[in-house]
Chain A
């Protein structure tokens, strides 16, 4: 019986260890779920506006124009997240940073 008991307790302990990393408190499902505000058409417009402002100071490369036109098109047609992604890529190029 020793072998059996040992095996059982080890299994229990092991699963506790294994599930440890999952032991992060998950915010209660009862509370209202927060809205991410950067997935909206308004944000699309916000990004377009910023791009235009930057384009004033220097001419955009061809890729940026392409991307921003694409983004605008997608946003207009309801593919918000895809459009925002393109606009963000355009922003990235324009700002010349390596932030992801």
Chain B
């Protein structure tokens, strides 16, 4: 049987040797007849269909041909019953007369009677002599009989009477036997057809199965080989396979995004960190070549340390963002009161704000239950507030607001600074992104990226809007209780 998945071309794997077949990956081994899932499904389908057909045929047969037999037997029994009553009432003469009468009125011409004595001498009835094979009383026999030159078939039963007499009662069943044979043949042919259809159906099922799976596995193989742009095709029917395909596509989407993020970060790291690293190096080299005295050297070294600390801080922030995005901190979620967190962060920055105559106002209810990672949310809010204070004009106002909203919590930080231009709003959350206006201010450009990662982790969003003037950042955390936390999937970022 050909395998369902072939290694992607150019994947560099050597041709499958026997050893590899025995010990290698499932996709390397050719799919044996018995291991193929599609064959199993197909066989199950075929067996079920055949069994159903069989059961149906059996039922029909029993109802028709079987019915014929049962009717005959019932008639014979009833007949025998009547005869036995006559025997009891009037003894032998009555029985003989009854038999003759019944024969004389047997318009259907199907009755068989024979009354013999203990010597098997014929007393009454329409058989020449006692049939040889009929030996056991009260048992059913099928007896071939000769009727005016034609061979026929009778169903008979033997009854033993007191005094040594033997009575044979039966019915001609030739026509019924013919009918029964006809029905049996029909049923058998029907079964043959059912089996044939089951086999054909099995092949169809197998084909469907393989086609759908092949679609998914081919796409996956292409992706495994590196083409992340591929997506599994949907059939449009919205069935379970489509759902599976959608899930896989979502996963691919996420992988693609993560990989883009990684690429982005590597680019940004290469670009943005090169500057402070170069600067530190230059200073040290300069000091090594040109420093006049120890004091100058010391000063240069200390500046270099400061530069390196700055770089370390950037790396720490990057690592933190990566850690958050990996989602490993969801296990540290707790329910806590957000109100004091907002108050504390506001109070922390109030000193700095006051220096520049910026008012920091915290508007929140006395209690604000939230569910999540307290430290991360604390840092997210601090980042937003840090930005707000940094960009606010002298004498301006920064408002930190907290409120419940539909089962979740929103935290807003609004400032009156220059804001972010509309065309940069969507990119503001990217790592290392620095707006045109902000290039000169200190900061690594990671602050908003971290806030966004925190929002993601909690299944929420970060919205950045123009506050006209200024920036209004809203952090939406959807769940306020552990129950909803489990069922939420991270929403897409506000990009």
Give A contacts to B, CB under 8 Å: 1, 3-4, 6-7, 10-11, 14, 17-18, 21, 24-29, 31-40, 43, 47, 50, 80-81, 84-85, 88-89, 91-92, 95, 97, 99-100
Contacts and interface: CB of A to CB of B under 8 A. Distances in A.
Contacts of B270: none
Contacts of B187: 18
Interface in B119-141: 125-129, 131-134, 140-141
A1 B47 CA distance: 12
A36 B127 contact: yes
A88 B146 contact: no
Contact of B112 (A3, A6, A14, A36): A36
Interface stretch (B96-104, B258-266, B283-291, B302-310): B96-104
Contact of A10 (B40, B51, B107): B51
A6 B34 CA distance: 15
A98 to B, nearest CB: 9
Given A37-B128, A88-B107, 14 more contacts: A3-B40, A10-B54, A24-B140, A27-B143, A31-B133, A32-B132, A33-B145, A34-B143, A36-B145, A39-B148, A80-B148, A88-B104, A91-B104, A92-B105
A6 B146 CA distance: 46
6 contacts: A3-B43, A21-B66, A24-B142, A28-B133, A29-B144, A81-B147
Contacts of B65: 21
A99 B47 contact: no
A6 B51 CA distance: 11
Contacts of B272: none
Q: Does more than half of chain B's interface fall in helix, strand or loop, or is it mixed? A: mixed
Interface of B: 34, 40, 43-44, 46-47, 50-51, 54, 58, 61, 65-66, 69, 101-109, 112, 125-129, 131-134, 140-148, 151-152, 155, 187
Q: Does more than half of chain A's interface fall in helix, strand or loop, or is it mixed? A: helix
**Which residue among B51, B105, B143, B144 has the maximum number of chain A CB atoms within 10 Å of its CB?**
B105
A7 B50 contact: yes
B141 A25 contact: yes
Contacts of B125: 37
Nearest to A91: B104
A36 B58 contact: no
Contact of A47 (B66, B104, B108, B126): B104
A25 B132 CA distance: 13
B133 A27 contact: yes
B58 A81 contact: no
B107 A89 contact: yes
A18 B43 contact: no
Given A100-B105, A100-B106, A27 B126 contact: no
Given A21-B69, A37-B126, A50 B104 contact: yes
A84 B131 contact: no
B104 A27 contact: no
Contacts of A80: 148
A80 B140 CA distance: 30
Contact of A1 (B34, B51, B141): B34
B103 A38 contact: yes
Nearest to A11: B54
A14 B146 contact: no
A81 B128 contact: no
A66 to B, nearest CB: 15
A14 B54 contact: yes
Contacts of B129: 34
A69 to B, nearest CB: 17
A35 B127 contact: yes
Contacts of A4: 43
A95 B101 contact: yes
Contacts of A92: 105, 107
A100 B108 contact: yes
B47 A17 contact: no
Nearest to B122: A37
A34 B300 CA distance: 132
B423 to A, nearest CB: 63
A62 B43 CA distance: 71
Given A27-B144, A95-B101, A35 B128 contact: yes
A14 B58 contact: yes
Given A24-B140, A24-B142, A36-B126, A85 B51 contact: no
A88 B128 contact: no
